[in-house]
Structure 1
Amino acid sequence: MLKVQEIRELIKLVDQSNLDEFVYEVDDCKIKMKKNQAGVVTVASQPAVAPVVVEAPQPQSAPVAVQQEAPKAEAAPAPVANENLHQVTSPMVGTFYASPSPDQDVYVKVGDKVSNDSIVCIVEAMKLFNEIEAEVSGEIVEILVKDGQLVEYGQPLFLVKLQ
């Protein structure tokens, strides 16, 4: 099974290439990406649930849709008003968890200082618990999702005031 970062890299490469279609199959996992005139890339994996189309942000290029097997979550990205704020976004579709387990404290709360490699939450996708790092140094100023909430690819999770 490919890791999320590897799938992201494949999406980028297909988007930037002259390829119109890309298929990758291993065991019971299949990833299929198609690009048409509108620049849409499709990713499919294990047909167990009805597919969901999720908009993925791309800088000054055609929109990219990622099709993945997961229930649709309500995404309401918050705009970053201050240039000194960084959005920590979800790298995948999944369930947001603020703590390592229900009986433990949350990873971070508003006002906490974080560094590049600080774990700020977990996003569960397909029974895999993926630790999400802050990617920047600063202070958590807002938590944009609730514990147990479904999140989309690219959905802002935290606002971090940069140091």
Structure 2
Amino acid sequence: MLNIKRAASWIGLSAASVFFLAQPSAAQTIPQTGLPVVEIGAGMHLIHAEVARTDEQRAIGLMARKDMPQNAGMVFIFEQPAEQCFWMRNTLIPLSVAFVADDGTIVNLDEMQPLSDVSHCSKKPVRYVLEMNKGWFDKRGIKAGTKLRGGPWPK
């Protein structure tokens, strides 16, 4: 669900950005499974987020999933803070995306439509991106500025 629209400019930013060029097969029809799971606290809610840490895991993301449990999600971890942009090619379910700073604070949120190439980007450089079912954050009153607990960010 990553956008390579600006890949040429990102390559010069960091070695971590090179993964934007690695795209999964256009015929990605089988969801990836077996990823590690981390618990993230959001207000009084507990999220069980699969961890996408490698280039391939991040490139595939939640593609080909037909549904996702209510309090489940996926957290994408990048080596360096950078402007992170996501899209929904080959992703069948609508998602909400939270761009998260190193301290676990949500920088900005966006809503993403299935099967779309529209870019959704962080408003500042981040290393973490959390995807949940569409509307998950809004239904729980979680907004930009909310600090998430647990998770992969440094303590």
TM-score using structure 2 length: 0.26
The structure where helix makes up a greater share of residues is 2
TM-score (norm 1): 0.26
Point out the structure with max Rg over C-alpha. 1
